[in-house]
Structure 1
Amino acid sequence: MVHFTKTSCEDEHLRRFYTSSWQQSDSPVAMLVLRALESAVALGILLWSLIEAAVPQWIVYLTTWGIILVFAMEASGLIVSICALKKKLPEVGKPPWYVMMYWVLYNISVPLAIVVTMLYWRLLSKDGSKYSIHDRYFWLDTSLHGFNAVIVLIEVFASRTPVRLAHIYQPLLFGVVYAVFSKIYQEAGGTGAYGQPYIYKFLDWSEPQSSFMTTIGIAIITIFLYVILWASACTRDVLSRACCSTRHRTTEHSVLI
């Protein structure tokens, strides 16, 4: 049975933030190793992107924001795992600030990575069609707009991080922040990497009605993806309880709203 609780963080079982869904013990080692690998891959992609696209506009792209957040999520998750290994975390209670930081980054990064991947392959991939599979730029594009989503999905299904529908405002707020940034940047005279007077054609604020509708559309997609994330976490927890249940886990709530 799936249980629902209030949105308060006070009685959170903190082992959910550092154990895997697919282990019977409460050891943080499995997720620590996985998060170390995920952090290394995300950092490698981030540095590769910075080196290959060494232009001032590198930082203004949503893709860049996305991979930075993926790395930040995995790095903060690694910190949580290390603290758990050193017995710095209590059994239950209000999560410490570094757990909350990981949780917020998780709530934002997972849907964002999937949105970035969807937008690229649906709207922008034709710009990179000149790259062959043997070209390193092809693999950079694939890493930034494919492997990024793989990393967050591994985190979702390997971890036990709780998902609450009440937290849906977090990725939506991030989307608003980026939309406002892109508008201010364009109106201040900022350009894209190739000199175009916008960051993305589909978010060209010289056509405000079209850009506003695009923003609303992306927000709807984000809501849809977050609901799928919640449902996936629900399914993950139900299956993991059935396969790897322990005496401790029977007292925990699986999916929270």
Structure 2
Amino acid sequence: MVKRIGNKFTLSDLWVTSNEKLSDFYLTSWQRGDSAVPMLLVRLFLSMVTVGILVWSLISGASPYWLIYLTNWGLLLVTSLTLSSLLVSCFAVGNKLPDGGNLPWYVSMYWLLYNITVSVAIMITALYWILLFSPEIKAEQTPAQFWLDVATHGFNSCVAFVEVILSRTPLHFVHIYQPLGIGLWYAMFSAIYYLAGGTDSIGNPFIYEVLDWRQSGRAGVIVAISAASLIMLYTALWGLSICRDKLSTLLIRTTSLSLPLTPPDRHTATGIV
């Protein structure tokens, strides 16, 4: 379990093995009571969407180069997030979540994927539409290719954002190293891939032109700016999660999972026993 000394965090807070309430991982922020069904239905829909987009991407562009692109890393992350969240909700509906102790491995896996994916997915969307997309690219695409681009660089962020807004999953600032680590891991992968003589699908000696390691100075600046932007984005999502919890607690949630939300007793409220 996570132990605290006053208001200070211990090293165990840096990982995803303990949380005060297990229900945070399977209830929505916008419900009364303790039914796991509402979030199960939401996650079932999100899982169907992400699996559909993943299959569409694989059918349309399957090649030995598919895994070198950050977009497809993000697609795999979002799909893994929705499937792991669905697994947690299924266990919750089946009353198979244990009481007390550390979080089950599948809850920790979901929480780790959540911490990484919600900011990385939105970051991928921003990088694509700001740095990579151009009217010339759209003119060369078929309608199917354009809508696949929209799905992989737009719907992915929508799925992540819906999970943030509707769930109660905590987003702790101390976990910022998790999405940042994935981002830096991809940057190192792209550099190693270049040094090993790797090319993109049409033979260019880079994966993305803006991350061309032949111009290492410019590539380094892009990585640094992206890392700083990811930190700011994660901070904004952290603040959004705090606002979500405070607002939903104030307006919607019950104070206890074992009691229904009821108005205060008239005599108690006036101090009469």
Do they superpose with TM above 0.5? yes
Which residue of the other structure, out of 27, 33, 43, is the alignment partner of 2:51?
Answer: 43
Structure 2 equivalent of residue 248 of structure 1: 256
**8 Å CA contact retained: 1:128, 1:138:** no
Deviations 1:146-188, CA, capped at 9 Å, x for gaps: 1110000000000000010000000011111111111111111
**Cα pair distance change 1:24/1:93, threshold 3 Å:** farther
Q: CA deviation at 1:205?
A: 1.1
CA distance in 2, matches of 1:11, 1:195: 48
**8 Å CA contact retained: 2:88, 2:107:** yes
**8 Å CA contact retained: 2:30, 2:253:** no
CA distance in 2, matches of 1:71, 1:10: 24
- The structure 1 segments of at least 4 consecutive aligned residues displaced by more than 3 Å after TM superposition are 4-11, 90-93
Structure 1 equivalent of residue 107 of structure 2: 99
Which residue of the other structure, out of 68, 72, 79, is the alignment partner of 1:71?
Answer: 79
Structure 2 equivalent of residue 192 of structure 1: 200
The RMSD of aligned alpha carbons is: 1.8
Q: CA deviation at 1:10?
A: 3.9
Which residue of the other structure, out of 224, 229, 233, is the alignment partner of 2:232?
Answer: 224
Q: CA deviation at 1:70?
A: 0.2
Q: What is the percent sequence identity of the aligned residues?
A: 45
Relative to the length of structure 2, the TM-score reads 0.85
Question: How many residues were matched structurally?
Answer: 246
SS in 2 for 1:206: helix
Q: CA deviation at 1:92?
A: 4.4
Q: CA deviation at 1:213?
A: 1.4
Relative to the length of structure 1, the TM-score reads 0.91
Tell me, yes or no, if structure 1 residue 147 matches structure 2 residue 149. no
**8 Å CA contact retained: 1:28, 1:84:** yes
Task: Tell me which of the two structures has the higher relative contact order, counting C-alpha pairs closer than 8 angstroms and 6 or more residues apart.
Answer: 1
CA distance in 2, matches of 1:11, 1:210: 42
Stretch deviating more after TM superposition (9-18 or 34-43): 9-18
Is there any run of 5+ residues in structure 2 with no aligned partner, and where? Answer: 1-6, 258-273
- In the TM superposition, what are the counterparts of 1:131-210 in structure 2 within 5 Å? 135-210=143-218
CA distance in 1, matches of 2:165, 2:50: 17
**8 Å CA contact retained: 1:46, 1:67:** yes
Q: CA deviation at 1:55?
A: 2.2
**Cα pair distance change 1:39/1:131, threshold 3 Å:** farther
Stretch deviating more after TM superposition (159-168 or 202-211): 202-211
Q: CA deviation at 1:5?
A: 7.3
